[in-house]
Amino acid sequence: MSSLGSTNAADIAERVAELVKIPSVNPLMAGPKAGVAGEQGVANWLANRAEAAGADVTVDPVIDGRSNVYARFAGETDRSITVDVHMDTVGVEHMTRDPFDGVVEDGLLYGRGAADTKASLAIVLTVLEELAADGRRPVPTINLVGTVSEEVGGLLGAARYSDWLKANNQSVDQLIVAEPTMCSPVHGHKGGVGLVMTVKGHAAHSSKPHLGQNAVSAAARIVVAIDEEHDRLMATPASTSVGGGTVSVNEIEGGLARNIIPDCCTLYAGRRLAPGEDPQKVFDELSALARRAAAPLEVEITMPYGHGFPAFYEDAKAPLIELLCALGDGVPETATYGSNALLYRGVASQTAVFGPGSIDQAHQAVEWISVDEIGKATDIYRQLLTRHS
């Protein structure tokens, strides 16, 4: 009897729970409740399970003992699909229940990473294990990829996988970036570029402010100028369904004491990029705006990670998008958040962001995914991995 489809949604939910119980909080977000920080526990789980199911497994160190895992399941054809699942989660300090209990109650599976994105990892691997138990291979060659450092830290895992493909003269026909999309494919979302701005002033006694140069006052003028730039962006018609660019000041720090004119103030501004916008050009334009606003004070401006990320945009009528819509009875959508899809331009012919669960549950004090969503995504992947076209 065929094994494909033999694992029901409740059993797969238990496999997701197994992953939820393995802490994998991004080290940059880890606190006292995080357990063992980093993705290594999930990476070991994936590598061992995939190898047992017949995959050719590569463990690729990325940074500080954190490794990507590339599990290649040879298919009946040369057509290739990569499913990229980031293994890190956000922090758990604000969670109001045990973040790693993996409890299933009333049709919902609870725990950090349940929706974002451990369900996708368990689902795809389960389907591949079903095929292996049946003595079958997937029709397309499947690369099940676990990446590190997606939540914060500069998408280092996706960048490394992209570089690894190029170094090995490989590309993929279709690439699915796992995120909670309620099983409707996302074909576009904004990119981003950050600016760390340090205003340089001159300290003086607060009783004689005219003897100093107030870095906080200059920083305040930058904030006003960036708010005005955001208003300008909002008034500019968008060229795609992803929408237009946005910008905001999200961090500010300055001041030495209550009786000293501040000689330094640091701000962080985040600029979301619409499709077609160039990160370096946007960075240069915002830098010039900030310097004009802060004048006559000087501003040192750097770009985190040394680069920005152009927006991700795939044609809504691309075959992968249309296929995922047909298999899941969904519609093509765009997203407000970012994902690893930002890094795969040039290594994948078609890319989609796709997975079970809702982004509304991600990063919450209580995170959950429904067992029904797990079952729906499993059915979609069973069809996707056994299709001949």
Spell out the domain ranges in the chain.
9-188+311-386, 191-306
- For the chain, the distance separating the N- and C-terminal CA atoms, rounded to the nearest angstrom, is 25
Label residues 39-62 b or e (16+ Cβ within 10 Å = b). Answer: bbbbbebbbebbeebbbebbebeb
Q: Read off the tokens for 58.
A: 């590569």
Question: Which of these CATH numbers, 3.40.50.620, 3.90.180.10, 3.40.50.2000, 3.30.70.360, describes 191-306?
Answer: 3.30.70.360
- pLDDT band of 199, cuts 50, 70, 90: very high
Find out whether 56 and 74 touch, Cβ atoms under 8 Å.
yes
* Residues 80-94, mean pLDDT to the nearest whole number: 98
Average pLDDT, the chain: 96
Q: In this structure, which amino acid lies at residue 281?
A: K
- pLDDT band of 7, cuts 50, 70, 90: confident
For the domain made up of 9-188+311-386, give the CATH fold: Aminopeptidase (3.40.630)
Cβ contacts of 163 within 8 Å, gap of 6 or more: none
Please determine, for residue 63, whether its predicted confidence score (pLDDT) is greater than 80: yes
Q: In this structure, which amino acid lies at residue 294?
A: A
Please determine, for residue 372, whether its predicted confidence score (pLDDT) is greater than 90: yes
Rounded CA-CA distance 70/84 in Å is 9
Matching residue, tokens 């004048």: 295
- Compute the half-sphere exposure of residue 325: CA atoms within 13 Å on the CB side of its CA: 12
CA distances from 52 to 2, 24, 73, 85, 119 (A): 19, 22, 11, 19, 20
- pLDDT band of 3, cuts 50, 70, 90: low
Please state the φ and ψ torsions of residue 167, each to the nearest 5 degrees. Answer: -65, -30
Pick from 332, 315, 335, 181: nearest CA to 243: 335
Residue 1's pLDDT is what?
A: 36
